[in-house]
Each structure stands twice: as C-alpha cells, then as structure tokens.
Amino acid sequence: MFEGHPKGLWALALANTGERFGYYTMLAVFVMFLQANFDFSSAAAGSIYSTFLGLVYFMPLFGGIAADKMGYGKMVTIGITIMFLGYVLLSLPLGKGSIAIVAMAGALLLISLGTGLFKGNLQVMVGNLYDDPAYANKRDAGFSVFYMAINIGAMFAPTAAIKIMEWAQSSLGVSEADSYHFAFAVACASLIVSMGIYYAFRSTFSHTDRRKADVAAADSNVDDLTPAQTKERIVCLCLVFAVVIFFWMAFHQNGSTLTFFARDYTATTSTGVQSMAFDVTNLVFAIFIVYGLFGIFQSNTAKGKGIAAAVILAAVAGLVYKYRTLADITEVSAPIFQQFNACFVVALTPVSIAIFGALAKRGKEPSAPLKIGLGMLVAAAAYILLTVGSLGLPAPEMDAAGQPMHMANVSPNWLISTYLVLTFAELLLSPIGISFVTKVAPPKYKGMMMGGWFVATAIGNFLVAIPALMWGASLTVVWGVLTGICLLAALFVFAILKRLEAVAK
C-alpha cells in the first residue's frame, strides 16, 4: 500500500496532518463553545458553524486562481500564516460581549481565508506528483494515503480538545466557557509544526510548485487539449461538483445534528468493552492490529512478517491491559464521537486500497465516477441506519432556561455505526473525487478546478444548517431529508456516468 509513491507525498501529507489536527481540535468543540460562551440557540450555533464551514471551503476557489498565476507554494505559505493569526485571535478569552463576538467573527474570517490559500493548493501539488508517468497508475491510491494521513490528525483532535479543557478547568480553575480557548490554542501550535515539516522536506516536492506560465512552457509534458475538450472537462467537473454539494451537506452533520443527537439522545456513560471505544489509545491499538494483519499477508520477507506479528501481539497486549484497568463507568462526552470517523478512515484506507487494487489486477476496478455514485448510496444507507435507531424517540425539547434537554439514553453503538457507514461513503467519494479533479482538470486551470471542488464543498457546508434549523422536529424527518438527498444525488451520477467516464480515459 505504501510502496511505489513519490517521496513528496509523505512530506505534503504530514504538513497537512498538522494543520488538520489543529482545525479539527477547534471544530470538535466549536458549536458547544458558541452555546456555552454566548448562549446561542442550537439553530443559531448551527448556522454560524455551517457558514464558517462554507467560507473555509469557498475560499480555495480564489486561492486556486491566485496560485495558477503566482505559484502554489507561495499561497500555501501565506495561507498558513493567516490561519495562525486567526487561531491566535480565537484563543483569547474575551468574554461574551460584543467585542468577543466581533473577535470571534474576525478569527473565523482569517481562518477561512488562510485555509482557502493553503488547503486546495497543497492538494494540487499532491496531484502534480502523479503527473509523472512513473506514478500515474497510483494516483487514486496516493490520494487515499494522503487522505488517511490527514485523518490521523483528525482522529486525535476531539480527545486533545477535551483533555486540554479538562486540564484547564481542574489545574487552572478556569470556567468551562473559558476553557474552550485552550483547545483553540492547540491549533496555533499544530500550525507551527505543520509549516516546519513543509519547509524541512520541500526539496521532495518543489518541482510540483508550478504556475500557469510554467505549465505553458512545459507543453512537452502536457497533452494538448482543443477548446472543445477543455470545455467538456470543465462541464463534467462541474457536474461532479453538483453531486459533491449534497454529499458534504449530509456528511458534515458530524459537527451539527449528529453532535446534537449525541448530546440529547445518546447515553452519557458507558461500561465494559463498549466503553473502550471512547479512549483513543484503544482505537490506535485496533488500527495497529489492522495494519499488522496487512503486513503479514503483504510482506515478502520472513523478517517483515515477524515484525508485523510482533506489532499485532503488542497491540493485543495493550488492549488486554487497558481492559483490565478499565474504570467501572466511563463518561461519554458528545464531541468525542467525532473521533470515530477519522479513526475509521485510518483503519479502513488499507482495506479500500487492497480491495480496489485486487479488482484492478482483474480489470474490474470501478471507475472514479462510479465510485462517487456508490459513495452517495452508502451515505444514504448511513442515515437509514440512524433512522432505525431513532424510531420511537421523542422530538428534541428545550428546558425552562432555553437549554437543550437530554431526551433519552440511546446506545452509543447506533451513532458509532452511523459514523462507520459514513466513512465507507467518504472513502468512495472524497479522496477519489479529488484524484478525479487533478486527473481531468485542464492543466492550465488545475488550481481553479480544485477550487471548484471546494466551492461545491462550501455550498454543501452552507446547507448543513438546514437540518440544524429543523432540529426540534421529528428525528425521522431530519434523517429522512438527508437520506433523500443522498439517493437523488446517486441517481444523478448514474444518469451521467458514461459522460464522466469518457473524460476520465
């Protein structure tokens, strides 16, 4: 799985891992911060959350256009600097007055702008690594590995946010509302690490930092496209972007209605084996077991198989130890559920690559557009599952003080299972979709087209607010709306599948 990729992949992936760790640490508690610090309603907090996500993913369009003219590396550096200033501002405990609200809004704008310059352009550079014919057949696998590395950072983010807040409250005596700022400060440190990695290993990917003029001067390495071919590629990408809108609307409920469901309906304590899932260390042990099994079956040497077996035994021993020292009752905090998606991405990426690699050897690997359509179907299945888990539950209610009430003690397994199925959908759609963009986009417009992918993501994130605004209605209605849009998007992909496959050849 990790063999045969360009060296620059690892440097770019790790640089993005650091940035994503900080971003998801902040995002894990952001909605709850808005309610605890500013007394915003669920609908208001959800609207701010979705607007912020929309801006984060809308800005890469302008970042991509700028990078096509001035270079990807320059935009990455400027972007991460602006992000850092935004996180510093968000880390300041300014209370809950108008000044604090203005500072919070300013911080979100800076983070959005910085991410717009950083995120898309870094991924274009990853795609440029695979323009080399020696690596061309590993493009999808490369983006899957890149996506997995990002989620390593995201996997630890919720735990980091919760632990730093608990430390601030217990050791420094700060209030719950003020402790959120300590979680935001973690993002500042992670960006410093990210940029350190980027510059330390820049030599491995410096050749990917190309402007439009550089591409034009290197036409010997770029297939000539007629105006009609260029137009068709752009049109097909726009059709894919239309589908992506509805995927992210459904998927990014993790920080909105899925967190509301965790807070209002899911049991707040867990016992026995189930409670081990809420300790990220145990999840890491489980991941080591998965990777160890792959090492045993894929290693070509006895030494390699032995190392893999040792890793498995050590991970199993770690799990046994953790179980034997398990507390009688484990507190379950609503944000902690957001660690499962990232964990599942890291654990299932080798499985995904292995399955599609085996199909490719037989000439039966699904095309990228088909994978995208299947991803939408799987996303629909996730919300069907949660609908079943929500049957018979009352609609959300507020108490006399206007705060959300805890309505039930549903087994955490329903929500964990939903995240698992959504992760299968994500692996079929997100890294494959990004790979599809870098492959199909006309060479002179790669930055802009990657920006288009993120604009579609932005629109989807704006629409995240719709289910949040519906929170208070029947859960069946909320999950039913999300199921329906995923099914309609899947049908749309299948209707235009041949056209999409034609431009990808």
431-463 exposure pattern, b = at least 16 Cβ within 10 A, e = fewer? bbbbbbbbbbbbbbbbbbbbbbbbbbbbbbbbb
Q: Kindly report the average pLDDT of the chain as a whole number.
A: 87
Q: How many CB atoms lie within 10 A of CB 127?
A: 21
Residue linked to tokens 């609503």: 334
- Separation of alpha carbons 279 and 9, rounded Å: 30
175 with 31, same domain: the answer is: yes
| Residue 484 buriedness (CB in 10 A; 0-12 / 13-18 / 19+) | middle
Q: 96-109 in b/e burial notation, b at 16+ Cβ within 10 A?
A: eeeeebebbeebbb
208 in a structural domain: no
**Nearest residue to 263 via CA among 334, 158, 330, 332:** 334
Global pTM reads 0.78
The structure tokens listed for 277 are 């899932």
* DSSP single-letter state for residue 392: T
pLDDT digits (tens, 9 = 90+) for 456-475: 888 887 888 889 888 888 99
Position 178 in a domain: yes
In terms of domains, do 315 and 345 share one? no
Reported as a single tens digit per residue, the pLDDT across 160-183 is 888 889 999 988 888 888 888 898
Q: What angle do CA 248, 254, 258 make, to 5 degrees?
A: 120
Q: Do residues 318 and 466 both lie within one domain?
A: no
Q: Are residues 240 and 112 in the same domain?
A: yes
Inform me whether the pLDDT recorded for 107 exceeds 90. yes
Q: Quick check: 445 pLDDT over 60?
A: yes
- Residues pairing with 269 in the sheet: 331
Which has more pLDDT, 216 or 71?
A: 71
CA 331, chain centre distance (Å): 26
Based on the domain organization, do 313 and 394 belong to the same domain?
no
Q: Convert the pLDDT of each residue in 358-413 to its tens digit.
A: 888 888 888 889 999 999 999 999 999 999 999 999 988 887 777 788 888 999 99
Phi (first) and psi of residue 392, to 5 degrees: 85, -5
Q: Is residue 425 part of a domain?
A: yes
215, part of any domain: no
The H or E element spanning position 319 is: helix 302-324
pLDDT of residue 211: 55
Rounded-to-integer distance, Cα 136 and Cα 122, Å: 18
Domain boundary among 299, 315, 331: 331
172-174-177-181 Cα dihedral, nearest 10 degrees: -40
Same domain for 181 and 325, yes or no, is no
Select the highest-mean-pLDDT range: 196-200, 221-225, 249-253, 379-383.
379-383
Q: Are 372 and 432 in contact (CB under 8 A)?
A: yes
CA 279 to the chain's CA centroid: 20
The answer as to whether 207 is a domain residue is no
Q: In this structure, is residue 220 part of a structural domain?
A: no
Reading the block at residue 381, the tokens are 């299945």
What tokens appear for 37 in the block?
Answer: 């610090």
Whole-number pLDDT of residue 1: 59
Task: Specify whether 291 is located in the same domain as 160.
Answer: no
Q: In this structure, is residue 353 part of a structural domain?
A: yes
Listed in order, strand segments (DSSP E) in 192-298 are 269-270
pLDDT tens for each residue of 180-189: 889 899 889 9
Q: In total, how many domains does the chain have? A: 2
Q: Looking at the structure, tell me whether residues 311 and 284 fall in a common domain.
A: yes
CA-nearest of 289, 287, 291, 386 to 343 is 287
For 398, phi then psi, to 5°, come to -110, 150
End-to-end CA distance of the chain: 24
Distance CA 145, CA 298 (A): 17
What are the residues whose beta carbons fall under 8 Å from the beta carbon of 375, sequence distance 6 or more? 247, 424, 425, 426, 427, 428, 429, 430, 432
Q: Of the candidates 284, 314, 331, which is a domain's last residue?
A: 331
Give the closest residue to 256 by CA, choosing from 14, 43, 55, 434.
43
The rounded Cα 158 to chain-centroid distance in angstroms is: 13
**pLDDT at position 223:** 53
Amino acid residing at 390: S
Instruction: Put residue 6 in one of left, alpha, beta given phi > 0 → left and psi -120 to 50 → alpha.
Output: beta
How far apart are the C-alpha atoms of 252 and 55, rounded to whole Å? 14
- Residue 415 is encoded by which pair of tokens? 């929500």
144-163 residue pLDDT tens: 888 888 788 777 887 888 88
Q: Is residue 213 part of a domain?
A: no
Helices (H), 269-409: 272-275, 280-298, 302-324, 338-361, 368-390
Do 92 and 150 lie in one domain? The reply is: yes
d(CA 315, CA 332): 24
Q: What is the CATH number of the domain that holds 377?
A: 1.20.1250.20
| Statement to judge: residues 378 and 463 lie in one domain | yes
Q: What average pLDDT does the segment 188-193 reach?
A: 91
Confidence of residue 221 (pLDDT cuts 50, 70, 90): very low
Report, as an integer, the average pLDDT of 444-454: 84
- Is residue 198 located within the same domain as residue 254? yes
350 has pLDDT over 90: no
Q: Residue type for 24, please?
A: Y
Q: Is the pLDDT of residue 220 over 80?
A: no
Q: Which two tokens stand for residue 108?
A: 């979100």
The token pair that represents 392 in the structure block: 């018979």
Range name among 23-37, 211-225, 341-355 with the lowest pLDDT average = 211-225
Where do runs of H (alpha helix) occur along 130-226? 139-171, 176-200, 212-217
Q: Are residues 74 and 108 in the same domain?
A: yes
pLDDT at 2: 63
pLDDT in tens, 288-345: 999 899 888 878 888 888 999 999 999 999 999 999 999 889 888 887 888 898 889 8
Structure tokens at 64: 């991509």
Q: What is the pLDDT of residue 212?
A: 46
Range of the domain at 63: 8-202+226-268+332-504
Point out the domain boundary residue: 291, 312, 331.
Answer: 331
**What is the token pair recorded at 11?**
């440097």
